[in-house]
């Protein structure tokens, strides 16, 4: 697949089904920013660089935020569980 084909497919997704699933982009991204900022403020060392565990938690929170806009999408809940499980594994490795 060529770069132009990939870009065209992305354009179809962000203007079609994904917009209906996740709601208005600015609302969705705003909700994600709100929960990410909360995590960054309450984590054990807010001044530390992000690590692999933080990324896993942030991905869970992205999915949590997505449940509050657009239409119901079961994949959000499946993805939350998957990211939470991966985050637990990463946390356990570094403990």
Token pair belonging to 42: 């309450």
Would the pLDDT of 91 be above 90?
Answer: yes
pTM: 0.85
Name the residue with tokens 């179809």. 12
Residue 88: which pLDDT band, with cuts at 50, 70 and 90? very high
Sign of dihedral through CA atoms 67, 72, 74, 75?
Answer: negative
Contact 32, 69 (CB under 8 A): no
Span 10-66, pLDDT tens digits: 888 777 777 777 788 899 999 999 999 999 999 999 999 999 999 999 999 999 999
Token pair belonging to 67: 């449940």
Contact 63, 87 (CB under 8 A): no
Instruction: Please report the pLDDT score of residue 25 as a whole number.
Output: 85
Instruction: Please report the pLDDT score of residue 69 as a whole number.
Output: 87
| 3-state SS, residue 43 | coil
Span 67-79, pLDDT tens digits: 998 889 999 999 9
């Amino acid at each position: 697949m060529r770069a132009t084909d990939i870009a065209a497919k992305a354009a179809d997704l962000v203007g079609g089904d994904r917009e209906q699933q996740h709601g208005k982009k600015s609302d969705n991204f705003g909700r994600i920013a709100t929960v990410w900022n909360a995590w960054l403020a309450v984590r054990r060392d807010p001044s530390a660089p992000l690590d692999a565990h933080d990324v896993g938690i942030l991905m869970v929170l992205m999915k949590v935020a997505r449940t509050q806009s657009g239409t119901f999408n079961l994949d959000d809940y499946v993805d939350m569980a998957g990211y939470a499980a991966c985050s637990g594994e990463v946390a356990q490795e570094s403990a």
